[in-house]
């Protein structure tokens, strides 16, 4: 992992950063790289209301906002941006709108690397809308000025279509911090945290999956 000028992480939901990216973000922060996390919605239409449920549809907005703020604190971010779009509606924004928002952030921050979802391989419509907006915004830039894209892909056909991930970030030494980050998103992560804490084969598999490496794909625009 090289020292970047600035890393910009863009996801639609509080907790999108926790599972697959928070170790990488923490490592960049510890290297002294400025990291911005732009989270587009408050995730307040999420189906999960806690395990057992402790949130209501009305309180989920406040709860998830606090959760992502705590996650950002644990990662060590000093630039968390909550853009406040409505959860589960990003795909219905006017064409080009999100792309413009992303482009403005790029112009302001001048990131050398952007982490987001991989278009076509990120399952949820909000994820896809985010991924498409980022790739479109970067595509529009002159080639020499484009930040490097580092993308999260996890749909079932990912390996079949894209092969093995080509960016593998070793997060050894970050397990405890990552576990706390995942625990900060209490309303969403209960079952996985339980699995991770158990002393079973399933738990070992989950630890292998989440606590050793974080994997990404690079993306060639041309
Ligand atoms: Zn999400």
List Cβ neighbours of 110 (8 Å cut-off, separation of 6 or more). 5, 6
Residues with CB under 5 A from ligand 1 (ion): 13, 16
Residue 133 to residues 103, 104, 127, 155, 169: CA-CA distances in angstroms? Answer: 9, 12, 10, 19, 25
Q: What CATH class has 7-218?
A: alpha beta
Query: DSSP H helical segments within the chain, as ranges?
Result: 16-20, 22-30, 60-75, 97-109, 125-139, 158-162, 175-184, 186-197, 201-211
CA 111–ligand 1 middle distance (angstroms): 22
Res 75: pLDDT: 98
In this prediction the pTM is 0.94
CA 132–ligand 1 middle distance (angstroms): 14
Mean pLDDT along residues 86-112: 92
Q: CA 155, CA 28: separation in Å to the nearest integer?
A: 26
CA 143–ligand 1 middle distance (angstroms): 29
Range from 19-33, 36-50, 195-209 that averages highest in pLDDT: 19-33
CA 96–ligand 1 middle distance (angstroms): 21
CA 10–ligand 1 middle distance (angstroms): 11
Res 21: pLDDT: 97
Mean pLDDT along residues 33-42: 96
CA 97–ligand 1 middle distance (angstroms): 19
Mean per-residue pLDDT of the chain:
93
Res 32: pLDDT: 97
């Amino acid at each position: 992992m090289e020292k970047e000028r600035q890393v910009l992480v863009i996801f639609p939901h509080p907790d999108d950063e926790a599972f697959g990216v928070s170790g990488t973000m923490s490592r960049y922060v510890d290297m002294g790289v400025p990291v911005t996390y732009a989270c587009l919605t408050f995730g307040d239409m999420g189906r999960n209301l806690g395990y057992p449920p402790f949130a209501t549809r009305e309180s989920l907005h406040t709860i998830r906002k606090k959760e992502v703020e705590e996650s950002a604190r644990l990662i060590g971010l000093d630039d968390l941006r909550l853009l406040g779009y409505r959860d589960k509606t990003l795909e219905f924004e006017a064409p080009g709108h999100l792309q413009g928002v992303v482009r403005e952030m790029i112009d302001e921050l001048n990131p050398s690397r952007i982490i987001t979802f991989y278009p076509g391989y990120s399952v949820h419509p909000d994820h896809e809308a985010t991924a498409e907006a980022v790739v479109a915004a970067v595509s529009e830039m002159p080639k020499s000025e484009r930040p490097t894209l580092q993308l999260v892909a996890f749909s079932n056909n990912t390996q079949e279509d894209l092969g093995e991930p080509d960016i593998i970030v070793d997060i050894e030494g970050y397990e405890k911090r990552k576990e706390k980050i995942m625990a900060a998103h209490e309303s969403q992560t209960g079952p996985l945290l339980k699995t991770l804490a158990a002393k079973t084969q399933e738990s070992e598999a989950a630890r292998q999956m989440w606590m050793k490496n974080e994997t990404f794909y690079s993306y060639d625009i041309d």
